[in-house]
Amino acid sequence: MTTNNERNILAKLEAIKEIRTKTMQLEKIKGKIIQEVEASEQEEKCLSEYKQEMELLMQEKMAHVEELRQIHADINAMENVIKKAEEARNRSLDRAKRVHEDYRPLKHDIDRMRRDYLGLERLPELHEEESGLITPEMFARSYFEKHFKNEWRPENATITSFAHAHQAAAASAFLAPVQPPLQLLPSSSKIDHHRALPPVPGPAPTFRQQPPPMKSCLSCHQQIHRNAPICPLCKAKSRSRNPKKPKKKD
């Protein structure tokens, strides 16, 4: 009877010892669980803050992308305005050069008559009258300037010889003999001049470089080069919508 009691007591003592050891181990595990849960809760709070900050950054990014898109749109609009202004300027300058082709021979004829018949000085040139608006080089390279000496001088020489032939008869009456040449000279010179001058050539065709192949960025939807690995605006990696399939090995 005593032996059985002792065995029961020893078994209980061993059980108490094992329970105590496992309880201490359980408390340690429990403490670790609580510690990890608290760390998880702390990281959850930080993660929420990080997500809010990320959302703000994305909003700021999209705002900058929109600003860049608007800037590009303004640049394109301004380029179109500049192009139209340049075309209008060139058209006005071309019209001025074409009108100058009619102005120059007429002025040359008037200057010659003033000098030969009246002994007067020539009329001032356009760049002398409008020095702030017209420069001497503005019409220097016009088509009429290049052909003026070849096509206008023989006619002027004929008119000049015709005028000198009548200067002897015009000695008594200074202005009377001048009227017949004035009636004949403008009409004949105008007709011969228009027959002699070829039509003004049009402007030379300009070379336009073709734009490079472009594609839309999947992140900011901005037009970028087709082979660009990274978008220069939003720095997002560019992925092809139709990637190449790997070749099968035999």
Would you say residue 112 lies in a domain?
A: yes
Would you say residue 161 lies in a domain?
A: yes
Would you say residue 120 lies in a domain?
A: yes
Would you say residue 164 lies in a domain?
A: yes
* Sign of the torsion formed by the C-alpha atoms of 137, 143, 144 and 147: positive
Verdict on whether the full-model pTM lies above 0.75: no
Full pLDDT tens readout for the chain, 250 residues = 578 888 889 999 999 999 999 999 999 999 999 999 999 999 999 999 999 999 999 999 999 999 999 999 999 999 999 999 999 999 999 999 899 899 889 989 999 999 998 888 999 888 888 888 888 888 875 444 444 444 444 444 444 444 444 444 444 444 444 444 444 444 444 444 444 455 555 555 555 566 778 888 777 777 887 777 887 777 777 666 665 666 665 5
Would you say residue 37 lies in a domain?
A: no
Would you say residue 132 lies in a domain?
A: yes
pLDDT, position 177: 43
Domain span at residue 147? 95-168+177-196
pLDDT, position 203: 52
Cα gap 15→3, rounded to integer Å: 18
102 in Cβ contact with 141 (< 8 Å): no
Would you say residue 186 lies in a domain?
A: yes
Provide the domain count of the chain. Answer: 1
Would you say residue 127 lies in a domain?
A: yes
Which DSSP string corresponds to 61-93? HHHHHHHHHHHHHHHHHHHHHHHHHHHHHHHHH
Q: Collapsing DSSP states into helix, strand and coil, what is residue 223?
A: strand
